[in-house]
Amino acid sequence: MKPELQCTIIDESSEYSLRELCNVCKVHAQFIQDLIDEGILSPQGQSPQEWRFAAIEIKRIQVSIRLQQDLRINLPGTALALDLLDEITQLKRSKSYLDQFYALDNDR
Amino acid sequence: MEFKDYYTTLGIDRNATQDEVKRAYRKLARKFHPDINKEDSAEQRFKEIGEAYEVLQDTEKRAAYDKFGKDWQAGQDFKPPPDWDNGFEFNGGGYTENDASQFSDFFESLFGAQGRPGAQDPFAGQQARYAGKGQDLHAKIVINLGDSYLGSKQSLTLQRPTVDDSGHVITRPHTLQVSIPRGITEGQQIRLAGQGAEGMGGGTNGDLFLEVAFSKHNFFTHDLRDIMLTLPIAPWEAALGASIQVPTLGGTVELKIPPNSQTGKKMRLKGRGLCSAKLSGDQYVTLAIMVPKPVTEKDTELYNSMKENMSFNPRSHLGVHL
């Protein structure tokens, strides 16, 4: 029998320390510090030892890395892109809801 | 093997300058980057664009590729002529930092070390001397809302890069059974430790990150943990109130519509959204009054009778009279 896969859900109910975050994302603490300074990440807690990161921020880190590598976007540009992507996601959700609402007219 | 027309992929002429190649690549890379473009085909396009750029931005590779002339069409069956690369300098690797394991067979046969049996690969046989952690892999998993509502098990097959006996990176299909927990939402990731690319020379494997996306449902939409439904109702149900059946992901429930309800009224079914062990979501029902078509004479009579007996001006707030 195959061993059970070690499976972690990255959702809004779990939190990570700086060390755990660096480990999962395979980045240096300095990179995390840079993202915090740019406002891309906002941990709870005062000092790096106390920082707690929402697990959902892992995706922001991963997207930041990819955008910087693939498209040569600098940090402020990455922050802007992430904010705009969030907004687009939200707008698309609203749109799919409205599309469904107005589709009723065409159904019958 | 299919011939790849790299010029068409980048949308440029065969006589484009190196600057034009670069500009075309950058523009398309921004457009099809999988983090930005959420279309299903974006990732594939992004890889093709990267592969085309890999060849055309390098003047040596481009010159070698150009030797095939313009007679070849994309998709045509292709076999490189023997010694086609004589006099060029990229033998034995020559990859840039791009992830070459994602490139096509066509690319691999021309520019990869595997394509040239005589070529000396400086790294062949040496991979055991250093150890490196395998790369993390990212993939998308598409599930339906019901899978999230109840939790489910999914089987998915991924192309996982691995190193073969001669030290070359190849991709192999790899099938995984993944448990989807109850209440997972779109955009959330499932991390599978050790299921990424294989490590080199005894190094540990990378991790696999699966990002969840929902397939389109016939009538439900979703906003994070909340489920949205537009509920058509009859004018008399809206006017007089009614108790009606509403579908939810967990089965049908009764909903009381208060008298005098209008289109656009939003009602909440608490805890009927995507609930995980710790967090709960709701279902929101938006009412939409449907006007029945008068079919029989009696129907028309009813409408006429309403018109005559009810003083109703739906446009009073616009300052116009009936």
Q: State the Cα–Cα distance between residues B74 and B19, nearest whole angstrom.
A: 24
Kindly state whether residue A23 falls inside one of the protein's structural domains: yes
Which pLDDT score, from 0 to 100, does residue B157 have?
Answer: 87
ipTM for the complex shown: 0.86
Kindly state whether residue A4 falls inside one of the protein's structural domains: no
| Alpha-helical runs (H) found in B112-166 | 145-150
Q: State the Cα–Cα distance between residues A37 and B247, nearest whole angstrom.
A: 47
Kindly state whether residue A5 falls inside one of the protein's structural domains: no
Q: Of B29, B46, B191, which is closest to A8 when you measure between CB atoms? A: B191
Domains in chain B, CATH or no CATH each: 6-122 (1.10.287.110), 131-214 (2.60.260.20), 220-310 (2.60.260.20)
Phi-psi region of A58 (alpha: psi -120 to 50; beta: other; left: phi over 0): alpha
Chain B residues with CB inside 8 Å of A108's CB? Answer: 290
Kindly state whether residue A72 falls inside one of the protein's structural domains: yes
Q: Which long-range contacts (CB under 8 A, 24 or more apart) does B24-30 make?
A: B25/B49, B25/B52, B25/B53, B25/B56, B25/B57, B26/A71, B29/A70, B29/A71, B29/B53, B30/A71
Kindly state whether residue A22 falls inside one of the protein's structural domains: yes
Would you say residue B58 has pLDDT above 60? yes
The token pair that represents A93 in the structure block: 């959700």
Kindly state whether residue A65 falls inside one of the protein's structural domains: yes
Q: For chain A, how far is it from start to end, CA to CA, in angstroms?
A: 53
> What is the domain count for chain A?
1
Q: What is the pLDDT of residues B222-281, one digit of tens each?
A: 999 999 999 999 999 999 999 999 999 999 999 999 999 999 999 999 999 999 988 999
- Residues of chain B contacting A, Cβ within 8 Å: 26, 29-30, 33, 35-36, 38, 46, 133, 136, 138, 176-179, 181, 184-185, 187-195, 207, 209, 211, 219, 221-223, 228, 230, 232, 276, 278-279, 286, 288, 290
Q: How many CB atoms lie within 10 A of CB A76?
A: 11
Q: State the Cα–Cα distance between residues B231 and B219, nearest whole angstrom.
A: 9
Kindly state whether residue A3 falls inside one of the protein's structural domains: no
Q: Is B69 exposed, middle or buried (0-12, 13-18, 19+ CB in 10 A)?
A: exposed
Domain that holds residue A94: 15-107
Q: Give the side-chain half-sphere CA count within 13 A for B203.
A: 20
pTM of the model: 0.77
The CATH number of the domain where A66 resides is what? 1.10.1660.10
Kindly state whether residue A10 falls inside one of the protein's structural domains: no
Going by pLDDT thresholds of 50, 70 and 90, the confidence category of residue B196 is confident
Which of A62-71, B77-86, B185-194 shows the lowest per-residue confidence on average (mean pLDDT)?
B77-86
Chain B residues with CB inside 8 Å of A10's CB? Answer: 188-191, 209
Tokens 């955008």 found at: A67
Residue B189 to residue A10, Cβ atoms within 8 A: yes
CA proximity to A59, closest of B153, B140, B143, B273: B140
Q: What is the pLDDT of residues A1-29, one digit of tens each?
A: 455 577 888 887 789 999 999 999 999 99
Residue numbers of A between 24 and 43 with CB closer than 8 Å to B: 24, 26
- β-partners of residue B172 are B160
Amino acid type, B24: A
